[in-house]
Amino acid sequence: MEFSQFFLLIISLIFICIGIYLFFKIKTLQPTQPLQHPQKKKFTRCTDFRVIRKEIWHAFQKYYKPLIIQASNLQRRKKELNNRMIKGENCQLEIDQLKQDIQKWSNRRDGAAEHVFKKANSFIPVQDKMDLHGLFVGDALKIVQRKLPNLKKNNEIHTMRISCGVGNHNGLGYSKIGRALSKMLKRNNIQFWVDHKIGFININMKTVPDKIEYEITTIKIEDHLEEITLEEKEINFGNNEDDD
């Protein structure tokens, strides 16, 4: 091989090495993509909060309010019969009829509560959360008492998040549903923790028994007669999405 050819070969190899070096150097200088951190799981409703609030209010008006009016009438009949009995009148037939009417009313109330509950939860796209807004305390407890053991059968649900509210609208400064639910969970040795800031009770589903034993004594026809005069703005139907 002549010297000139050897020299050209050396020069070519040098340029090739320089090219390879520059290629990798430029590649290392390019901005790298930031590491993708796993996003914190955040609950989002599948529709606007104002729509949810309006829908729950409409369900309340449609299913609950007629029962509240009926409850007022039942209470009035109960007082009248009591006064007549004090006077010595025989009112047994009317008492029996009143008992039947109260039982029918109670059954309709269970159905009304279920309708309101379904409406409030129809906007929730996940299985590990339920919303009790729009319900009376006793009805909310009955629903949780019935549904928790069934939800326990779903092995994918480890923690159940129940929205009870924070009590901003009742003038008490605490959620009546949340306080009553906490009491029921304690009675059954169910592990839970409360997020007071957003009004959630988080339940360890492994500790939920097959049957929740609890005597719900808050359901009486005179419990919520004052609700008949409430305006929409005075009833709490949930926290704003930004607070959730």
- The first and second tokens of residue 148, run together, are 């928790």
Q: What is the pLDDT of residues 186-240, one digit of tens each?
A: 999 999 999 988 889 999 999 999 999 887 764 454 444 333 333 333 333 333 3
Helix runs in the chain, H state only: 3-29, 49-59, 65-86, 92-121, 137-152, 176-187
pLDDT greater than 80 at residue 18: no
pLDDT band at 114 (very low <50, low <70, confident <90, very high): very high
CATH of 49-243, one of 3.30.530.20, 3.40.50.920, 3.30.1370.110, 2.40.160.10: 3.30.1370.110
Q: What residue has token string 């299985």?
A: 127
d(CA 207, CA 203): 8
pLDDT greater than 70 at residue 66: yes
Q: What is the mean pLDDT of residues 2-22?
A: 69
**Average per-residue pLDDT for the chain:** 76
Element (H, E) at 129: strand 129-131
* 174 to 11, 225, 228: CA distances (angstroms): 84, 21, 22
pLDDT band at 50 (very low <50, low <70, confident <90, very high): low
How high is the pLDDT of residue 24? 67
d(CA 196, CA 133): 15
How high is the pLDDT of residue 7? 63
Among 173, 184, 153, 170, which residue's Cα sits nearest to residue 162? 184
d(CA 180, CA 139): 11
